[in-house]
Structure 1
Amino acid sequence: MPSVKKPSTRRAQPSPYSYRISAVLVTIVVVVISSIVLTSYAQARRIPDNAGGPSAPTVTRIPSLGLSVPTSPIVEQGAVLDPPADPQRAGWWASGALPGSKEGSVVITAHKLHGGGGAFDTLAKVKRGALVTVDTQAGVQNYEVVSIANYDRDEFAEKADDLFRTDDTPRLVLITCYDWNGDDWNGNTVVIARSSA
């Protein structure tokens, strides 16, 4: 029987050039992925341009919280501004500024329910820089959150004139209840957002 030569078990050494090519390819992939991520982040952080002029709101949205709340006009009763009876709706203070106005506070309020189910249950969790979009009868008005604060009843009363002002810089003021004591709420959460205009 003819002899059979045993195959060599020695592995071929990779070329130093293959290491360089691999390193270059990995670097390119990392750069491309990083660029896509950073571009997406920048676009997500940019507050979109407004569309349409001053008009009554129909829906209030906070994408970062997953909120999309139907919004309708409400009128204060004396010194009290009550949200709509439906806890899943928000109310826009009809005596204040229209979304898209060049001055004044656009005030929108909604319920927070201690057992859950209120339109603004999670409002206090919004972060500075978050987008708030108000759909209106004329288009869309966009705002960027600049402050989140909790006030007890006395503090809220002291700040009411400023929060409900109808002149000066245009802004959005979102209001809900804060600090359930077992029988009632002790104060209010107030989120202020500036217009992207």
Structure 2
Amino acid sequence: MSRPAKTATRRRRERPAVVMSLAAALLLAVACGTPPPGISSRGAGPSAPVASTAAAVPSAATPQAAPELPDIPLHEATLVPAPREPAPPRFLRVEGTSIAVDVVEVGVGANNAMVIPDSFYQAGWYRYGTVPGEKEGSAVIAAHVDTLTDVAPFAELKRLEPDARVTVEQADGGVLEYEVARVESVNKGDLDGAALFRRDGPPELKLVTCGGRWLDERQDYSDNVIVTAVPR
């Protein structure tokens, strides 16, 4: 029986979170705050006794010298540039293999699964997740394992050795280097999607394709092959 193109594992749609900025929170606190005890909301606070200043006023006939001011060194302020966000990935290469593919941004399809490009020469980066090069989280790039007539480059994932070099080229010309830490074959029914697409924790790159046995009744493979690579 001929085999149709496969899809990678299903993913749950990520729900955006609404976060109040620190500046907005502080502004709200100032606008809604209550004056401290002893301070009137209409003025500067209770009046204090005023001491007589007659003795402290110098005679008009006695000129007073102006006090000398100390020399205060001036330094030109230097603006600190804002942290640069990592640019999206545009190309992926794995040393010692035929894996050398363009990377395109993908989302979630109508079947609530991560979209996988049909082309042999493309892999999909899940754009709603972590960007390769961020300091936290797991960046996911996935591609097909085969088609009706041939085997795709990502079929080689299951044979990668530890420490194999993975190179990601970014849209702005930057280059990220990773090395393979482990290769796993996970039953699709046991896959932990939250861990795969996590947004916190150590920075990792996840390369995903199908693997295991072909199941005629499901028209799909039984497993996912997941390569975990870490920054070099």
TM-score interval (norm. to shorter): 0.5 to 0.7
Q: Secondary structure at the match of 1:124?
A: helix
Question: Which residue among 93, 97, 108 is the counterpart of 2:130?
Answer: 97
**Residues 9-20 of structure 1 aligned to structure 2 (within 5 Å):** none
Corresponding residue number in structure 2 for 1:85:
118
**Structure 1 or 2: more helix by fraction:** 1
More strand by share: 1
Return the letter of the residue paired with 1:132: V
Task: Tell me which residue corresponds to 1:147.
Answer: 182
Checking the alignment, whether the CA contact within 8 Å between 2:98 and 2:153 is kept in structure 1 is: no
Which stretch of the first structure deviates more once superposed, 58-67 or 77-86?
Answer: 77-86
From 114, 126, 143, the equivalent of 2:160 is: 126
Q: Aligned-pair distance for 1:83?
A: 1.1
> Deviation per CA, 1:124-166, whole angstroms, max 9, x where unpaired?
111111110001112111111101000111121xx21111101
Match of 1:190 in 2: 226
Q: Is the 8 A contact 2:215 2:222 kept in 1?
A: no
Query: For 1:169, which of 193, 202, 205 is the aligned residue?
Result: 202
Aligned residue pairs, count? 143
* Match of residue 92, structure 2, among 43, 57, 60: 60
User: Match of 2:130, SS?
Assistant: coil
The alignment's C-alpha RMSD in Å is 1.8
Q: Corresponding residue for 1:36?
A: none
1:45-99 CA distances to partner (integer Å, 9 max, x unpaired)? xxxxxxx961111111001213211110000236411311223310000011111
- The yes-or-no answer on 1:137 pairing with 2:175 is no
Q: Is contact 1:72–1:91 with CA below 8 Å preserved after alignment?
A: yes
- Conserved in 2, the CA contact under 8 Å of 1:90 and 1:119? no
Which 4+ residue blocks in structure 1 deviate beyond 3 angstroms? none
TM-score (norm. length: structure 1): 0.67
- For 1:168, the aligned partner's letter is G
TM-score normalised by the chain length of structure 2: 0.58
By how many angstroms is 1:180 displaced? 3.8
- In structure 2, give the amino acid aligned to 1:127: E
Q: Contact (CA 8 Å) 1:113, 1:121: kept in 2 or not?
A: yes
Q: Secondary structure at the match of 1:154?
A: helix
CA distance in 2, matches of 1:123, 1:170: 20
> Percent sequence identity over matched residues?
31
Q: Match for 1:181 among 214, 217, 221?
A: 214
* Stretches of structure 1 lacking an aligned partner (at least 5 in a row): 1-51
Larger radius of gyration: 2
Aligned-residue offset at 1:195: 1.3
In structure 1, C-alpha distance between the alignment counterparts of 2:188 and 2:151, rounded to whole Å: 23
